[in-house]
Amino acid sequence: MKALSIIEIPVYQKKKFKKKVLWVSIDYKRFNIKDNDIIENSIFFLHRAPNDTNSNIKYDWNVSYIRCHSPRWVAHQIIVSMENIWPVPIAYAELYRKGQGLKWSLWRVDFYGAFFHFFKDLPDRYIIAYNSLMSKSIISDKVRVTRIDVAIDLQIPFPQNWWNWIRPCKNSNREVVSYRHEWKFNSYWYLADKNSWYWVRMYNKFVNVDKLWKHKWYWWFDKMPEDWTRIEFEFYPPYSVMEEWELMQICKEKIVWNIQVNLWLPFRPNFDFDIENAYNYFLKYAKNHWIEMETLLDELVSHHIYLQKFFWQDEEIL
């Protein structure tokens, strides 16, 4: 599959976009953490509020840690109170009970879009924590970036025919979903399976800000024309480990420039090899076809050797 092929914008439309880009930004980032020592001394190592207070909230100056429901164990949402703005959630930290999270992770920390939007106004300790996780994700295999969202904001009317521009995967049963507001389309999105490399959504950002009462997030909102559209990509492994600037550049090239982008990954690597899953698959196959497991494995080995010899012969001929 070609890179970012689930969205194909006509060339004539891209030419109109070139002078309409407002900005390209990071809107979400998730870290999965394997080693508890990395978290233990950081701001994300959160203790429950004392039982005698009957409260789910812990305060730290202008920051509130709100313990919320988690099917895996303990989770906290981090909310910052900002001057002249409603309290803003900037991050989510979740501790997994053993066996409840991803196969290898103990912690999950999500930085919301508000974290990046108010980056310069947040307490330094949160900026330091974020930069620390970023550094460890580069030099250590104990921290992984498992999701990163890239947003492209354009000063254009939200197109009513964009559902034609999203091309679902041929092998997927999911369809492009749309949302109407005041009888007009204001959102299209295509969210594939959880194992997908990336997702895409497009929506009327002006309507979104207005409906969620985020006016004070954008001091210039009253002067902003209603022609404000956002295209947003969600990237997962292996693309989520790429540099932020590189992903932002790739997304901009895909949406604005008439060139074929390259994500530099011809296939999705498998980070975790699970022999038990492979064995169970072949065991089920042998059972369904009424053959012995040993016979199936012998045939597989023989066929593999045959294909390898055939490949080597072709290489010698070439």
pLDDT in tens, 270-318: 445 567 777 888 888 888 888 888 888 888 888 777 766 544 444 444 3
Q: Does residue 19 sit within a domain? A: yes
What's residue 44's pLDDT?
64
Please tell me the pTM assigned to this model: 0.74
Q: Does residue 85 sit within a domain? A: yes
Q: Are residues 283 and 249 in the same domain?
A: no
Q: Does residue 250 sit within a domain? A: yes
Amino acid at 3: A
| Average pLDDT of the residues of the chain | 77
Q: Higher pLDDT residue, 185 or 30?
A: 30
* Residue located via tokens 């530099």: 264
Q: Are residues 57 and 159 in the same domain?
A: yes
Q: Does residue 295 sit within a domain? A: yes
Report how far residue 133's alpha carbon sits from residue 114's, in angstroms, rounded to the nearest whole number: 18
pLDDT, tens digit, 9 for 90 and up, residues 104-126: 557 889 999 999 999 988 988 88
Q: Does residue 231 sit within a domain? A: yes
User: Among residues of the chain, what percentage have pLDDT more than 70?
Assistant: 72
Query: What is the arithmetic mean of pLDDT over 237-249?
Result: 86
Q: Does residue 2 sit within a domain? A: no
Pairing outcome for strands 184-190 and 21-33:
unpaired
Q: Are residues 217 and 125 in the same domain?
A: yes
Q: Are residues 204 and 313 in the same domain?
A: no
Q: Do 17 and 252 form a contact (C-beta atoms < 8 A)?
A: no
Q: Are residues 23 and 74 in the same domain?
A: yes
Q: Are residues 50 and 132 in the same domain?
A: yes
Q: Are residues 231 and 146 in the same domain?
A: yes
Q: Are residues 46 and 183 in the same domain?
A: yes
**Count of domains for the chain:** 2
Q: Are residues 185 and 289 in the same domain?
A: no
Order of all β-strands in the sheet with 177-181: 57-60, 63-68, 73-82, 85-96, 107-111, 21-33, 143-154, 229-235, 198-204, 184-190, 177-181
pLDDT, tens digit, 9 for 90 and up, residues 117-171: 999 889 888 898 899 889 888 887 888 899 999 999 988 887 777 767 777 666 5
Q: Are residues 157 and 303 in the same domain?
A: no
Range name among 208-212, 239-243, 265-269 with the lowest pLDDT average: 265-269
Q: Are residues 78 and 150 in the same domain?
A: yes
Query: What is the arithmetic mean of pLDDT over 96-110?
Result: 65
Q: Are residues 26 and 110 in the same domain?
A: yes
What's residue 311's pLDDT?
46
pLDDT above 60 (res 260): yes
Q: Does residue 5 sit within a domain? A: no
Range of the domain at 250: 11-256
Report how far residue 180's alpha carbon sits from residue 105's, in angstroms, rounded to the nearest whole number: 39
